[in-house]
Structure 1
Amino acid sequence: MRLLAYSFILLLSQSASSQTKGGLFTENEIPLERELEFLNQRKFADGTLPELWEKFVQSRTQNLLKSTIVPLANWQSLGPDGLDSLTGTISCHAFNPANPQIMLVGSIAGGLWKTYNGGDSWQVLTDDLPSLRISAVAIDPSDTNHIIIGTGFYYNSSTTLPGIGLLESFDGGSIWTPNTFTYPYVSSVAVSRIIWDKRNPMNVYLAASNGLWVSRDNGKSWTLKMTGLFSDLDIIHKSPNILYACKHSTGIYKSIDSAETWIPLTGSLPTTSLHRITFTACDSFPDFMLCSIVDPVNYSLKGLYKSSNAGSSWTAMSGVPAYLCVSTVCQGWYVNQLGISPVDTNIILLGGHQFWVTSNGGKTWIHKDYYTTPPTGPHDGVTYVDQFDFGFDPISPSTVYAFNDGGIFKSINNGAYWQKKNKGLITALVYQISSCASDTTKIISASQDLGLHYLDNSSGNLNWKIWLAGDGTEVAYDPNNSNVVYGDAPYGTHKKNTNVGSGSISTVNFNSGIVGTNSIALHFVLTHHPTLSNVLYTANDSRIFKTTNATTWTTAATIPSIKSIEISKHTPTTIYAGSFMYSNISVYNFYISIDDGKTWNPTASSPGWRVTDIESDPNNYGTVFATRNSAFPGDPHVYKSTDNGNTWTPIATGLPDVSTNAITVNPYNSNIIYTATDLGIYISEDAGLSWNEYNDNIPPYYITDMHYHKLDSTLRIATMGRGVWKTKSIYTNVVDIKENKNDKFNHVKIFPNPANANVTISIEGEINEVIEVRILNSMGQEVKNIFKGKKSQQKYSFKWDGTNEVNAKVAIGTYFISVRIGDYKKSYKLIYTN
């Protein structure tokens, strides 16, 4: 089980120093603090980041080329399918030009999603891709199967969360390939906005952190028109030769010749001391427009300005609410959005840390988000906080959507009353999970923005509820009492709940006795004893703490920079701890206590810098595993010790060279080990000597936490962006693997190969198990599902005619035929030449 929760899945291009005030973060910058912590966990010693897309393609292809018989996972999503009807952050949207009931939305960490019914239900389109931080999406008005998504996030001139540029699909979202606008992480490129010219779809416009770009060939190639960091872009659809672009810290630019040339707008707009700038214009009255400018000093509103003459002159609006702030906490660097009704310039939406709406042009404003006190019910009629995007239905303009940290909200009366539209939209960014030892249906979790929550699935309805709002970081279940749970809020605020799930939640803080400094910032480690109630460990910058009554803490050891703690599952009086400093790759240690935490000593050696998780073997005393993020590319990420940490052996063959975040051992068979990476789950059947991908039916996302539940033999994981999942282990209550899995695949034949026409897949023998045959491309994306089912026959014969799911001919190249027989699968390389 992972012991230290990670931050929001974002990557930054710089160090923390230029973004702190006096060396300390302000409360305004908590989101930035989360992101920097994530960066520090992953960057190499030279400050660069692993190229996740490159590693994904490399790892997926290598796993397919192995043609190894591997166990088949059967991952099932446990949600949360709405945490009190909320979900993870949604950042952008695009209406289908032919039918606005069909809409695409991008998640900040959970992929691209599609609705056919205005948000009543959702399906995901990108589960064959790694987590890409989708920031923009656009649909080709001449071919709605043609979609472009932008990746990465921009915050300010020195903080960019790099993506890989643009990805493109020509079949409605089944297969995705990189567009020509492609960049490595080291380039620190983030996309802000993509706009298609509805009248001339050959013209596509792109705002990004590396400039303002134009395509004249439907997105095939791109030309740079202006340099700099661009936060927003808008087009006047009635006159699509007119565009407006917002350049960070500089101002607004206008083009009247389809983005060939640009001129700066002044007209009483401020020209100095500017930060994030947002712009919008009214579709029906395009001369009316608004812009919102953030003050760089404290990220509050510098001014909301309006123009009634297409930007020739501007007036500062008065009486504007402080929508970028809550009290003195301002986050205009993070969120700053505007909306104008496409048919009524009096209806204006303001979205930042708060949400406000006016129906009379700004004479009066109404506050409509979770910071208000609703008149009836819990948050009835209001939207969530931190707005990232607005969208007015182009056919029914009184219908508007808000996209924010709580997911998607819909109003049919211009923002006066909001309804949640998150059913089936599973995008929660979960840091950590813990399961009830005596009841397999009960799980608790901690997530970004949505706090601490619990699942009581005894009725089978996957009903998740929040028991502490805000940000959650760590959780732990009492091993003997299904009603008692623990959780942390940011900065190590420890919480205890004594009747979770009862409907009457009793939560108390217990921080007494914790002393010393904490630059660990948002996250403290929290580890519960595997068998004893009320016994927990935590740590800060200078000490390890222990409680035996879940009320007060005492210092267990004066050891600095502890990031992970494991209590031996075999002998709980033995405890392991790993320490390191982000700022110095030479400072790290591994510690052990063999007397129940009374005395601690460093072991003779350590698994290395940045240990992310420690896991003990429940069947063999002294055997312990550690995952880590290496300082240099190619260094191993998983280590094993059989002598209580005194010597370590790398066991990483077959793992991708990316962050490895957690590890767990099958309690019924210690040869079976699972590890969690930034590219999903991997399994070893030989005690770590070799590893294979274990991502069937689950996206290869950032896996932040995992554990094995003995009662139902399930592996359970937390993801940043796709919630909580579980799979049944095929190794249950046995110590050895009795089945000869090779016999299953001895009679699989594929011919001809290479092929230029039909390909035959033949399977012979008495097989009374489920068989599945799929065609995959080199990135593991499904091209076509040939068969899935179970038949009582001696021979199976299937044909593939070289077409995809929409019966279009595939391109010449390398493909893989994935054959599943029962609980195992094997891939076969195929060269297709036609």
Structure 2
Amino acid sequence: MKKLYFLAIAAIVALTVVFFPQNEKSAEPRNGALEALQFLSDLQTYPSGKIPEQAQYAAWQQARRMPVSAENFRNTDPWESMGPHNRGGRMLSTTFNPLNPQTLYAGSASGGLWRSYTAGEGALAWERVVTGFPVLGVSCIAFPPNDSMTIFIGTGEVYNHLAAGTGAAYRSTRGSVGIGILRSLDGGQTWEKSLDFSMDQEEGIWDIVVAPSDPQVVYAATTNGVFKSTDGGDSWDWVLDVPMATDLVVYPTDADKVLVACGNFESPGYGLYRTGNGGQFWHKVISNGLPSTYRGKGQLGMAPSNPDIVYASFGDGFTTAEGASWLCRSTDFGQTWQLRNTTDYSKWQGWFAHDVAVDPQNPDKIVVIGIDVWTSSDGGLTLTQTSVGGTGFSNPPPQGPDGVINYVHSDVHDVNWHPTEPDVLFVCSDGGIHRSDDGGFTFASRNGGLQTVQFYNGFSTSPNNPQFCLGGLQDNNTIVWNGDLTWTRIGGGDGSWTAIHPDDDNTFFISSQYLNVRRTTNGGNNFTSMVIPGNSPTAFIAPYVISPANGDVMYAGTALVARTANGGDNWVASNGGNALDGNPVLSMDASWQDDGVVYVATAPYNGNRGHVFRTDNNGVTWPNITGDLPDRFPMDIAVHPLDDRIAFVAFSGYGTGHVYRTEDAGYTWEDISEGLPDVPTNAVIVDPLYPSNIYVGNDIGVFASVDNGATWINYSEGLTDAVMVFDLKISADRKLRIASHGSGAFQRDLLEVVWTSANEIDAEAWQLNVWPNPAKAGGTLNVSFQNPSPGKVGLRISDASGRTVYQQAATPFAEGNQELNLTLPDLPKGIYTLSLETEKGTFGQRIAVF
């Protein structure tokens, strides 16, 4: 056996970016999950193809040491949840507390560990478990049989690993990085490392089993093989080095008898392995009842009532075409096998989403999952599809249901029978958690409070209405927020970029993968598809923007940039119909003052680095302004609202600066990321009222600078453990909003300067609110405040020199909430101060005019 002290995989591979296919639409179902995970993998590892040792963990440790407040700025309340609480994102596992099955634990793909004390029942059933570590993906959860205080969790969502080899382009298919196995000895209150993978965070854990006959013996199926502990997780031995171990079962009365499934994407040595001596020797199982070759993964299910009976599920598909599935059964704990069924239940997700579980009392009664849920009462000889996927209800209540009586979101990852209640089982899918009370024939969602949806870039918030925003999700369409914790689904597929008309909230745009854009002009009641000219390659999550200066002008990117001047009715290719550099456009932003000024950035592709371009003539020409920017994925661009010569670019990857600023339209760039954690950075935004205030979102949280990037603070208070922040927006009422990949949406007050004048009173007590902010010159401005007692109130707007540019004389106002609506004069763009002048003093707020 090989004693584990640290793991280091030194494989060097050539990076092949694979998430930019041709524009032509496929008639077959496309494997969006594969493309989405490859997209994330490439963002993290380009150009080396590998995550540096301890990179994410070291960055998280650095973030914990950073200051959390800025001098001369008000301390703000922590981040508050925006939901959604009525729909879940991709969930990987569930496990019952062995002594109280009403307590249910669940692992998400990139939103951490969750717990429910009501077995998922209710509108607020779930809470996130704080581990004190940067835990994102939780693939498995395990307890000793009679111990509710000891908990093991496996971290990371890794379907392929560099050391495994593939013989194909799928060099690394990963959702979120892991740090190994964590253990709690006090029921989840505190956690510690058990099996430490933080040196090589490309590793992942897929299964943990505590031996029923000896709780000191623990086995773990990992991307690097099988590990075993004989001291309850204090130390581990590496007992099988076949890569991509995905599932294992341990004989209940003999901790030395283990059966494990290894392999994914045809990794070396894939197949079933069996040991009878605790891992000292392993025998690869060869049987006519097993598939001779397959390209996906294997999953195992042991019959609790007769542990000699074991089922194995194998998948083959991982492209746009359907593959094959094999359901096999053994009656001698894996020595010999019989092929029971070849119904293709896993289809194109043979590498990703399928499993089998056996009824606790009846070894012939099984549930098989893949794209959908299937049941059998004769040991798998016949399989009946019992669930339907597709589209659920548009606005389900948090307590469910979220679809018809047998609805389960497609791509089902885990199935778990209740230990004491007959016919009760739970399944995990890309749409959260569902419960069945009749053995898998009907289902109801159990997603109340399970905030795990995965937003992509391209989140939008209305510049006029603080309670309207929308964003695209992994495999969960586009969803709309209207002010509460429930969100409404619109659109289909993987939701992608969105955009809201700057002057009309009823007109907005949604999209799905590869720039399939649709427009509504009636608040979402009807949508029209846009016909946008483009060239291959196109990014999986492809960008488009509406010009804030002119809501009829839009830009959209494939390998070239298309432009419309009539709200999307007609599009033309810019740049003379030529691609910018042959690479796919990945990010863009438009000037707030001039609808002809746009910045775009392309992603690396086929060995060619990405670039940044700017047009100031409506796309007639696009000068390359890349300069000395780093060779990484340019994830986001932010144009300063008051000066389009100033722009920011955020970069993914490791080992370089992550945020760059230009003040001369791209002629020169300055790295302003010194002091920021070195992790993939996905979003950047500048506060228009305080132009020196910059916010960035990365794979572990939110960070802010109040001195133009010279120093940074950790602005993540209220976010648990680590949160993958994919986009940042500022709302009409000056809330900073984040769209995260795995933890839903949050909002928090922006940093505001502390007022110091002796005659200025506490604005917070008056609850002054101004929107939209920034505001258009000549446009409408709304002002609300809470008047503590009857009295006269006046209003004044002053420019930076103190000169009054607008004034309303003091008039009587009653006690309570008051609202004013005024039309701004045609002011020059800039920062102004709006002041309320009351009988008790004066207080105010900055506003930006563009």
- The alpha carbon displacement at 1:527 in A equals 0.8
**Cα distance, 1:492–1:291 mapped onto 2, change above 3 Å:** same
Residue 31 of structure 1 aligns to a residue whose secondary structure is helix
Is the deviation greater in 445-454 or in 72-81? Answer: 72-81
Could you tell me which runs of 5 or more consecutive residues in structure 2 were left unpaired when the two chains were aligned.
Answer: 1-10, 166-171, 394-400, 758-764, 766-850
Counterparts of 1:555 and 1:205, CA distance in 2? 57
- The alpha carbon displacement at 1:517 in A equals 1.7
Counterparts of 2:629 and 2:374, CA distance in 1? 52
2:54 paired with 1:48: no
2:727 paired with 1:705: yes
**Cα distance, 1:103–1:52 mapped onto 2, change above 3 Å:** farther
Match of 1:218 in 2: 232
Residue 551 of structure 2 aligns to a residue whose secondary structure is coil
| Structure-to-structure mapping, 1:79-90, within 5 angstroms | 79-82=83-86, 86-90=87-91
Match of 1:773 in 2: none
Match of 1:314 in 2: 337
Paired amino acid for 2:120: G
| Structure-to-structure mapping, 1:531-550, within 5 angstroms | 531-550=549-568
- The alpha carbon displacement at 1:524 in A equals 1.5
Residue 687 of structure 1 aligns to a residue whose secondary structure is coil
2:527 paired with 1:507: yes
Check the 8 A contact 2:291/2:326 in 1, yes or no: no
Residue 550 of structure 2 aligns to a residue whose secondary structure is coil
- The alpha carbon displacement at 1:219 in A equals 0.5
- The alpha carbon displacement at 1:117 in A equals 1.2
Check the 8 A contact 2:120/2:447 in 1, yes or no: yes
Counterparts of 1:146 and 1:47, CA distance in 2? 37
Residue 34 of structure 1 aligns to a residue whose secondary structure is helix
**Cα distance, 1:44–1:167 mapped onto 2, change above 3 Å:** same
2:189 paired with 1:174: yes
String of CA shifts for 1:486-528, please: whole Å, max 9, x gaps.
1111111111123335xxx31221124x13222x341211111
- The alpha carbon displacement at 1:305 in A equals 1.5
Match of 2:413 in 1: 388
String of CA shifts for 1:91-133, please: whole Å, max 9, x gaps.
0122111111112111010000011111121110137543532
Counterparts of 2:283 and 2:574, CA distance in 1? 65
Between 1 and 2, higher relative CO (CA 8 Å, sep ≥ 6) is seen in 1
Residue 394 of structure 1 aligns to a residue whose secondary structure is coil
Counterparts of 1:19 and 1:691, CA distance in 2? 35
Residue 317 of structure 1 aligns to a residue whose secondary structure is strand
Q: 1:30 aligns with which of 24, 29, 32?
A: 32
Counterparts of 1:312 and 1:606, CA distance in 2? 61
| Structure-to-structure mapping, 1:134-213, within 5 angstroms | 134-141=138-145, 143-156=147-160, 157-158=164-165, 159=172, 161=174, 163-185=178-200, 188-213=202-227
**Cα distance, 1:473–1:236 mapped onto 2, change above 3 Å:** same
Paired amino acid for 1:687: N
2:345 paired with 1:323: yes
Identity of aligned residues (%): 24
Match of 1:818 in 2: none
Check the 8 A contact 1:616/1:623 in 2, yes or no: yes
Paired amino acid for 1:215: S
Match of 2:257 in 1: 242
Match of 1:828 in 2: none
| Structure-to-structure mapping, 1:226-625, within 5 angstroms | 226-229=240-243, 230-237=245-252, 239-248=254-263, 250-270=270-290, 272-275=292-295, 276-295=297-316, 300-318=323-341, 320-325=342-347, 330-362=348-380, 364-371=382-389, 378-431=403-456, 432-457=458-483, 461-500=484-523, 505-512=525-532, 514-518=533-537, 520-557=538-575, 558=578, 559-560=580-581, 561=583, 562-584=585-607, 587-603=609-625, 605=627, 607-609=629-631, 610-625=633-648
2:116 paired with 1:102: no
Counterparts of 1:180 and 1:614, CA distance in 2? 39
| Structure-to-structure mapping, 1:109-148, within 5 angstroms | 109-120=110-121, 121-126=125-130, 128-141=132-145, 143-148=147-152
**Cα distance, 1:209–1:370 mapped onto 2, change above 3 Å:** same
Residue 58 of structure 1 aligns to a residue whose secondary structure is helix
Match of 1:824 in 2: none
Residue 199 of structure 1 aligns to a residue whose secondary structure is coil
Match of 1:792 in 2: none
String of CA shifts for 1:392-440, please: whole Å, max 9, x gaps.
1111131100011111110111111111000010000011321122211
Check the 8 A contact 1:589/1:606 in 2, yes or no: no
Residue 35 of structure 1 aligns to a residue whose secondary structure is helix
Check the 8 A contact 1:73/1:695 in 2, yes or no: no
Paired amino acid for 1:76: E
Counterparts of 2:454 and 2:41, CA distance in 1? 16
- The alpha carbon displacement at 1:678 in A equals 1.5
Paired amino acid for 2:333: A
**Cα distance, 1:481–1:722 mapped onto 2, change above 3 Å:** same
Counterparts of 2:671 and 2:198, CA distance in 1? 32
String of CA shifts for 1:15-40, please: whole Å, max 9, x gaps.
56598999999965432222222222
What is the aligned residue count? 707
| Structure-to-structure mapping, 1:637-656, within 5 angstroms | 637-656=658-677
- The alpha carbon displacement at 1:261 in A equals 3.9
Match of 2:689 in 1: 668
**Cα distance, 1:14–1:112 mapped onto 2, change above 3 Å:** farther
Check the 8 A contact 1:588/1:608 in 2, yes or no: no
Residue 33 of structure 1 aligns to a residue whose secondary structure is helix
- The alpha carbon displacement at 1:343 in A equals 0.8
Match of 1:92 in 2: 93
Paired amino acid for 2:415: F
Residue 541 of structure 1 aligns to a residue whose secondary structure is coil
- The alpha carbon displacement at 1:447 in A equals 0.5
Is the deviation greater in 137-146 or in 191-200? Answer: 137-146
- The alpha carbon displacement at 1:303 in A equals 2.3
- The alpha carbon displacement at 1:657 in A equals 1.1
- The alpha carbon displacement at 1:14 in A equals 5.8
Counterparts of 1:625 and 1:446, CA distance in 2? 23
**Cα distance, 1:620–1:535 mapped onto 2, change above 3 Å:** closer
Residue 627 of structure 1 aligns to a residue whose secondary structure is strand
Counterparts of 2:192 and 2:366, CA distance in 1? 38
Counterparts of 1:351 and 1:181, CA distance in 2? 31
- The alpha carbon displacement at 1:591 in A equals 2.5
Counterparts of 2:93 and 2:685, CA distance in 1? 36
**Cα distance, 1:726–1:235 mapped onto 2, change above 3 Å:** same
String of CA shifts for 1:781-821, please: whole Å, max 9, x gaps.
xxxxxxxxxxxxxxxxxxxxxxxxxxxxxxxxxxxxxxxxx
String of CA shifts for 1:207-265, please: whole Å, max 9, x gaps.
11211121100001111222202121012335554332112263323334444443333
Counterparts of 2:755 and 2:144, CA distance in 1? 54
Q: 2:749 aligns with which of 725, 728, 739?
A: 728
Check the 8 A contact 1:127/1:698 in 2, yes or no: no
Check the 8 A contact 1:485/1:498 in 2, yes or no: yes
**Cα distance, 1:437–1:68 mapped onto 2, change above 3 Å:** closer
